[in-house]
Amino acid sequence: MTEDINELVASINTNQVLVALLDEYKKLTVPTLKFLDIKTDNKELIIDYDDTTASFNFSVRDKNVEQ
């Protein structure tokens, strides 16, 4: 089962995440300046599967950027 979940997570695209979130919460409000100023090159989407609730958890974290 873990291998199947890992394959599923690897195949998820951002459009699926957005549509699932909006379907679940109906509406998410983001201030215009936050939307326009967001830097995505130093962020990564984290997808974890919780088998106790049979659900996905989505979060964002800063990437470890080497300078």
Domain total of the chain? 1
What residue type is 58 in one-letter code?
F
Please report the pLDDT score of residue 40 as a whole number: 85
Q: Which domain holds residue 26?
A: 2-62
Please report the pLDDT score of residue 7 as a whole number: 87
Please report the pLDDT score of residue 67 as a whole number: 44
DSSP annotation of 57: E
What residue type is 25 in one-letter code?
Y
Q: Does the residue 31 lie in any domain? A: yes
Please report the pLDDT score of residue 2 as a whole number: 67
Write out the chain's pLDDT in tens, 67 residues.
Answer: 567 888 888 899 989 999 999 999 999 999 999 999 988 888 999 999 998 999 999 999 998 755 4
Q: Does the residue 22 lie in any domain? A: yes
Three-state DSSP at 49 gives strand
Please report the pLDDT score of residue 53 as a whole number: 94
Q: Does the residue 67 lie in any domain? A: no
